[in-house]
Amino acid sequence: MTSLSSAVAFPSSCRARPAGGNSRRAARLLVARAAASSPKLPSGRRLRVAVVGGGPAGGAAAEALAKGGVETVLIERKMDNCKPCGGAIPLCMVSEFDLPLDLVDRKVRKMKMISPSNVAVDIGRTLAPHEYIGMVRREVLDDYLRTRAKSAGAEVLNGLFLRYEAPKEPNGSYVVHYNHYDSSNGKVGGEKRSLEVDAIVGADGANSRVAKDMGAGDYEYAIAFQERVKIPDDKMVYYEERAEMYVGDDVSPDFYGWVFPKCDHVAVGTGTVTHKADIKKFQAATRLRAKDKIEGGKIIRVEAHPIPEHPRPKRVSGRVTLVGDAAGYVTKCSGEGIYFAAKSGRMAAEAIVAGSANGTRMVEESDLRKYLAEFDRLYWPTYKVLDILQKVFYRSNAAREAFVEMCADDYVQKMTFDSYLYKRVVPGNPLDDIKLAVNTIGSLVRATALRREMEKVTL
């Protein structure tokens, strides 16, 4: 999922720092030097890593590990998994992860942000002709990344991870226990198996069993609820290049509702952290807000899933690390997670490859911690800014009205899209930053006044 909120009301110095190539190369050199002191593996033996989970994080990690000379086993329990996800990916992900364009169902160039009072603001005016937000189906994207990992040399197993046993001596093996699913053996629930590995990458989502085993700690989470709706062809024309986002207490007290286009249907959904028991009520309200545009549609699939709200307290323990949703890499306010999942999976894998000298040496916890340090350096400001935005603009309907009003500003749109599409900072104009700050204060003042008047009416 994504939102037009990653740059609103914050000067460029507060936004995510650019993913500079020089700093990344320097970090890899440090990892490589650290690897020189770790034990060399016996001749003919490669470092062996288990990647648990086959979503964007696991697929990207497994591919990078296999390409880097590491013996890789990817374990995924559900090969046709359809996660209730808006499915929005930034433009830079298409090139950075070399994704074929036929994976992208729709190229969204227009967005409507719709306020609690149904004031609609058109967003996308600042996009260049070649720019767009990609809309994908998770089952298609995930399968592609797993297949590519397999082509790179990773072994892909259909199985359910159960638990792992930590080594009893330094540089000993981790024992991974899992249920192996194989229709040919006729065993209901799978066949219990185990394998020995040198390191584990936990990419098994918000309910990560790897995280539980390593004592990673809990985090607050949202419940996302989504319905895939097949609407008449004439109505689908409206959503050909358009997505919609609805804000208001009716659709979510702390998140937003969405209508995102897919290949031949739309995904209609919402999410909440604070009122999980009311999620179906919020979903009904989202459908009601979009009623005229999806009228005559047929629900073809219903999906629900937890989404983390902040990174876990612990993301590395020994030679085990977490990536993607398992690590908690979903941004507040926007709910974006696909890019950060794939990016974290690749970064963790690259740290293991470098730390093991392409699979010829044992890795250490310090190698994995370098992945965390680089990821946090690059993206921690984004998470903090969006956390603040959510607290400021999602706290009341009046504040949401102010937020939608601000989204009409061309400068806000340009800075937001530049930040989202490329995951880098384009320096802002200081005068425009000052103007934006003033307009933000004005919008919030008007929102506060409106809220007070509304309270008078309801008393």
Tell me: the pLDDT tens digits for 272-288?
999 999 999 999 999 99
Q: Is the pLDDT of residue 453 over 90?
A: no
Write the pLDDT tens digit of every residue in 213-248: 999 998 888 899 999 999 999 999 999 999 999 999
Where does the pLDDT of residue 318 fall: very low under 50, low under 70, confident under 90, or very high at 90 and above?
A: very high
pLDDT of residue 394: 83
Strand 88-89 versus strand 199-202 pairing type: unpaired
pLDDT of residue 168: 93
What mean pLDDT do residues 137-159 have?
96
- Produce one character per residue of 120-157: b if its CB has 16 or more CB atoms within 10 Å, e if not: ebebbeebeeeebbbbbbbebbbbbbbebbbeebbebb
pLDDT of residue 424: 67
Q: Is the pLDDT of residue 353 over 60?
A: yes
Distance of CA 273 to the CA centre of its chain: 16
Q: Is the pLDDT of residue 8 over 50?
A: no
Where does the pLDDT of residue 448 fall: very low under 50, low under 70, confident under 90, or very high at 90 and above?
A: low
- How much of the chain exceeds pLDDT 70, in percent? 82
Query: Distance between CA atoms of 230 and 378, rounded to whole angstroms?
Result: 39
Write the pLDDT tens digit of every residue in 251-273: 999 999 999 999 999 999 999 99
What is the three-class DSSP state of 324? helix
Where does the pLDDT of residue 425 fall: very low under 50, low under 70, confident under 90, or very high at 90 and above?
A: low
The conformational region for residue 146 under phi > 0 = left, psi -120 to 50 = alpha, else beta, is alpha
CB within 8 A of 96, min separation 6: which ones?
none
In the chain, what is the greatest distance between 2 CA atoms, to the nearest angstrom?
Answer: 79
| Closest to 270 measured CA to CA, from 417, 284, 35, 72 | 284
| Closest to 234 measured CA to CA, from 293, 193, 310, 163 | 293
Give the CA distances from residue 457 to residues 394, 397, 399, 452, 454, in Å, rounded to whole numbers and listed in that order: 22, 15, 18, 9, 5
Write the pLDDT tens digit of every residue in 363-414: 999 999 999 999 999 998 888 877 887 887 888 898 899 889 888 988 888 8
**Model pTM score:** 0.85
| Closest to 423 measured CA to CA, from 329, 349, 352, 321 | 329
What mean pLDDT do residues 187-195 have?
84
Question: At how many degrees (to 10) do helices 410-422 and 430-458 cross?
Answer: 110
What is the three-class DSSP state of 405? helix
